[in-house]
Amino acid sequence: MLVDDDKPFLTRLGRAMTSRGFNVITAQSVDEAMATVKSAPPAFAVVDMRLEDGSGLDVVSALAEARPEARVIMLTGYGNLTTAVTAVKLGAIDYLSKPADTDEIYDALMAEAGDRPDPPENPMSADRVKWEHIHRVYELCDRNVSETARRLNMHRRTLQRILAKRAPR
């Protein structure tokens, strides 16, 4: 089960996990995810921390109760130590910061207890991470350049130049 309110990310991750052999169920809200957990608790879940209608921690907790052996990964763009500890206490096996790539997520889901996944062969460059973050905030601001620039604390014209460029490798 994949739970995230970022539709493009959810679609990409869903396709990637399907190609790796998972039967993917997606949810874009806490309510959708809770309904899935109640009807058919999944063995694997990737859950975003902040959703429009609540916290992904509620989903992690419900899934741990419904299916204690489930392997849950918590994703967030707003990572901090307190929420990571809380997620693990509630039943998550790992906590990854966005933007996490599919290989990282897959490796974390498949890791044995106590094992740490190997570092990625080709991690995203710092420029790519910055580009991904800027575009994520841009999408969350309903593609409003002025609002995005304000939230990112950057000049509007600088943001427009960045948005006009292709993604770095």
Position 113 confidence tier, pLDDT thresholds 50, 70, 90: low
What is the per-residue pLDDT across 30-79, written as a single tens digit (0 to 9) for each?
899 999 989 988 999 999 888 888 888 899 999 999 998 889 998 877 65
The predicted pLDDT at position 150 comes to 95
Which has more pLDDT, 115 or 141?
A: 141
Sketch the domain layout of the chain as residue ranges: 2-110, 126-164
Give the CATH fold of the 126-164 domain.
Answer: Arc Repressor Mutant, subunit A (1.10.10)
- For the chain, give the percent of residues with pLDDT over 90: 24
What is the per-residue pLDDT across 145-165, written as a single tens digit (0 to 9) for each?
999 999 999 999 999 999 888
Is a pLDDT exceeding 90 seen at residue 87? Answer: no
Task: Look at strands 50-51 and 54-55 and give their pairing.
Answer: antiparallel
Please tell me whether the peptide bond between 99 and the residue prior to it is cis, using omega within 30 degrees of 0.
yes
Asked if 14 contacts 36 with a C-beta cutoff of 8 angstroms, the reply is no
Asked if 104 contacts 124 with a C-beta cutoff of 8 angstroms, the reply is no
The CATH homologous superfamily of the domain defined by 2-110: Response regulator (3.40.50.2300)
